[in-house]
Structure 1
Amino acid sequence: MRAIVVGAGIGGLAATLSLRRAGVDVTLVEQTPRFTEVGAGIQLAPNATRVLRRLGVLDAVAAQAAHPAHVSFRTWSDGSEICRYALGREAADEFGAPYLVVHRADLHRALAAAVPPESVRLGTTVVGIDQDDDSAHVTTATGERLTADLVVAADGIRSSARQWLFGKDEAVFSGTAAYRALLPADEVADLDLPPLAAWLGPDRHFVHYWVRRGELLNVVAVFSTEAAAQESWTAQAEPGEQLRQFTGWDSRVLKVLRRAGQVFRYGIYTRTPLTHWNVGRVTLLGDSAHAMVPFQAQGAAQAILDAAVLGDVLADATPGGVPDALDRYVRRRLAGATSMQARSAQAGSEFHLPDGPEAQARNARMSAHAAEHRFMPQATAWRTDVLEEKQEL
């Protein structure tokens, strides 16, 4: 069995590893000429770290990660705690896998190190995908034509493959944008910050947590906006822009934003849910299939789960059975990923409620839930082992 994976992000690398474990000969193609350190923090819940363990990379990821003992939800104006939930050892014991927070580059590096260099083709831009009854084909910008039994399009939120498969379909601006920054630990040591926290306020929320073994503080400051913002890893904010957006917030939030050196600004986009991700021998995976707002911290996790199931359905397949195997992959993953898209969007609405009765009622609900449960409501998804879910919905 031969596969071509298009895109060497988190989803594409995880898919490559999962397919290789299933005995598939994989060629991973990526348009950038080399891997670079881009992005910032990623949260990895137990549903994702369970898969990383199976892929043989969890130890390498965990060695570079932070392991927060709990998550704290706080009020925007004075930092008073609404509630907190257990993570750390309690979550690892309960769910059989850890909750980690990592720099995206550290996760990417661990995944890339597990892929044999001869399987990777960097500097290769895909300009077309087509197929016939027996094979799938990728055409590169140089005119080269690569052939395999299947093609996995993990080419991200701006996926060209999605348009080739399903027609014109643009990414949708979510109505939110964010500032992100990384601060050395010693620059915020005096603020007594919780290890992982979300501060909730009108039309805004502010998230911070440690990455890279606690050496860096990852900061994400989200705000609602009607003006569509650029979706970019590298677009820099204007000096002081982030402070103007968060005027009046708790002094610790403002001190973090003030001390941030390089601040990036990016628009948050999603993709409209699809009824299927595959056509014949070609399928989407990760953000190309189900990009979501990050308010449940499950975007990367869902791509990793896709990768696990894709490898599982192809483990016993023959080349002739690829279309049926991809049907099984989509049946096993589409409902869960689509549900997480909706839950993430709903969480954003809840986080941004205006001061007054609505926010007070939300805080009361959160406090009451935390009094009865050790783990966050979304922790129900952490228990799921996608490789034990053999039912095909």
Structure 2
Amino acid sequence: MRAIVVGAGIGGLAATLSLFRAGHEVTLVEQTARFTEVGAGIQLAPNATRELRRLGLLDAVAAQSTRPSHVTFRTWSDGSEICRYTLGREAEDEFGAPYLLVHRADLHEALTAAVPHRSVRLNTEVVGIDQEDGAAYVTTATGERLGADLVVAADGIRSAARTWLFGPDEAVFSRTAAYRALLPAGEVADLDLPELAVWLGPGRHFVHYWVRRGELLNVVAVVQAEAARESWTARAEPGEQRRAFDGWDSRVLSVLERAGRVLRFGLYTRAPLARWNIGRATLLGDSAHAMVPFQAQGAAQAILDAAVLGDALVGAAPADVPDALDRYVRRRLAAATGMQAGSARAGEDFHLPDGPEAQARDARMAAHAAENRFLPQATAWGRDAVPPP
């Protein structure tokens, strides 16, 4: 069976490898002239790293990652600890796979290295998807029409394929924006920072953790905003991020003051869909369920999509594709949509104003942590997206 995957981000690469593993011929189509991945740190919970192991990539990714022993939640003004949860060896023993902190480019490179060069078409912009009985097609900007038994659209949050399949549907601004930066470890060595921490404050929160074997501190500073464009390359104005967190704990301010190149971009989502597939074409990853990153599950959910897609198509013949895609969507849609909603709720909770609501939240979080070793979203970490053989 022949498949075309549109988009060479994390979801598209994982889908390509999962379809290869299922025994199918795959062409990966990417509009850029070479493989690149922008961005900074991402968190990979055990539900994602378990699937990376299935693809044979966990060791390569883990070698470039950091393994935190725990995560702490802290108060914005003085850094006092609200609660902490266990990660590290205990989480790996419990869920059968590690919790990793990784630079996005390192994950992308590991996925890219596993895809055969002969299966990749770079510098190929897709301008349309259509299908007929027995085949699906993508049309390129040069007028070429590529045919296959299956088309997987992993073309990101601004997915054109989503519009071609389901009609006009714009990305939705979450009314939050993020400042991102990477700082060499030596520049913050004197600050005694927790290894993975989330600082909560009125209308904003601050996250930091180590990536690339502890060589870099990844910083994400999120603020409520009336408008912000969605861009991985837009620079913040000098000192803008420091002013946005005026009055916060001195360690937070020191990190923001020492950050060199700071990017600022709006956080956008997509409205949930009732289905992701039509006939021989389907969405995957952010094109299907883009979410705010407040439960650190965006990349993980794309990897899980890819795993289930491949599993649904094991042994499939061309005639089986529409039914197999139905199975893929039935197994993934509710879980991904639930994670979308949970991530949005987490953002609302993180940004409560000082006073009774924030105090109640802190008490609730502390009580949960006293009774549970692992984060609330860890209930999803132990479920196998693909049943063991």
TM-score (norm 2): 0.99
| Equivalence for 2:365 | 366
Q: Look up the SS of the partner of 1:221 in the other structure.
A: strand
Cα deviation digits, residues 277-324 of structure 1 (max 9, x gap): 000000000000000000000000000000000000100211011001
Whether 1:21 aligns to 2:30 is no
Distance in 2 between residues matched to 1:36 and 1:182, nearest whole Å: 18
How far off its partner does 1:35 sit?
Answer: 1.6
Q: Distance in 2 between matches of 1:169 and 1:275?
A: 13
Residue correspondence of structure 1 range 268-307 to structure 2 within 5 A: 268-307=267-306
Pairwise CA distance, 1:37 = 4.3
**2:4 corresponds to which residue?**
4
Preserved contact between residue 9 and residue 37 of structure 2 (Cα < 8 Å): no
Q: Tell me, in whole angstroms, the C-alpha distance in 1 between the residues paired with 2:341 and 2:71.
A: 22
The 5 Å alignment of 1:1-393 reads 1-226=1-226, 228-388=227-387
SS of the residue aligned with 1:179? strand
Q: Please, which moves more after superposition, 310-319 or 30-39?
A: 30-39
- What SS class does the counterpart of residue 190 from structure 2 fall into? helix
CA distance in 2: counterparts of 1:185 and 1:34, whole angstroms? 30
SS at match of 1:64: coil
Two-structure CA RMSD over aligned residues (Å):
0.9
2:74 and 2:83 in contact (8 A); partners too: yes
CA–CA separation in structure 2 for the residues paired with 1:242 and 1:223: 9
**TM-fit CA distance, 1:38:** 1.0
Distance across 2 between alignment mates of 1:382 and 1:193: 27
Distance 1:386 1:95 in 2: 13
Q: State the secondary structure of the residue aligned to 2:63.
A: helix
Code of the residue aligned with 1:310 in structure 2: it is L
Deviations 1:203-257 (A, max 9, x none): 000000000000000000000012x211111000000000111010000000000
Q: What letter corresponds to residue 204 of structure 1 in structure 2?
A: R
Please list the CA deviations of residues 16-58 of structure 1 after superposition, one character each: whole Å capped at 9, or x if unmatched: 0000000010000000101224100010000000000000100
Query: For the residues of structure 1 that align with 2:128 and 2:378, how far apart are their CA atoms?
Result: 40
- Please say if residues 4 and 151 of structure 2, whose CA atoms lie closer than 8 Å, have aligned partners that are also in contact: yes
**Paired amino acid for 1:232:** S
Aligned equivalents of 1:337 and 1:7: distance in 2? 20
State the SS of the aligned residue for 1:109: helix
TM-score by length of 1: 0.98
Output the CA distance in 1 between the equivalents of 2:328 and 2:212: 34
Displacement of 1:143? 0.9
Cα distance in 2 for partners of 1:16, 1:321 equals 19
**2-structure distance, mates of 1:256, 1:205:** 14
3-state SS of paired residue (1:253): helix
CA distance in 2, matches of 1:340, 1:204: 21
Kept in 1: contact 2:43–2:101 (CA 8 A): yes
User: Structure 2 counterpart of 1:354, which letter?
Assistant: P
- Give yes or no for contact 2:11–2:285 (8 Å, CA) kept in 1: yes
SS in 1 for 2:231: coil
Query: Counterpart amino acid of 1:241?
Result: E
> How far 1:116 moved relative to its partner?
0.4
Identity %: 81
What is the distance in 2 between the residues matched to 1:261 and 1:13? 31
Distance in 2 between the 1:316 and 1:34 partners? 32
Once the 2 structures are TM-superposed, how far is the Cα of residue 389 of structure 1 from its aligned partner?
Answer: 9.2
- Structure 1 stretches (4+) deviating beyond 4 angstroms? none
Unmatched 5+ stretches in structure 1: none
Q: Deviations over 1:310-353 (max 9, x none)?
A: 00010021101100100000000000000000000000000000
Structure 1 residues 220 and 106: CA distance shift in structure 2, 3 A: same
Give the deviation of 1:384 after TM superposition. Answer: 1.0
Query: What is the count of residue pairs matched by the alignment?
Result: 389
- Structure 1 position 388, deviation (Å): 2.0
Secondary structure in structure 1 of the residue aligned to 2:208: strand
- The residue type paired with residue 112 of structure 1 is T
Structure 2 residue identity aligned to 1:328: R
Q: For 1:170 and 1:389, locate their aligned partners in 2 and report how far apart those are by CA, in whole Å.
A: 38
- Residue identity opposite 1:366 in structure 2: M
Report SS of the residue matched to 1:91.
helix
Tell me the alpha carbon deviations over residues 115-150 of structure 1, each in whole angstroms, 9 at most, x when there is no partner. Answer: 001111111100111000110001111111111000
Letter in 2 for 1:116: P
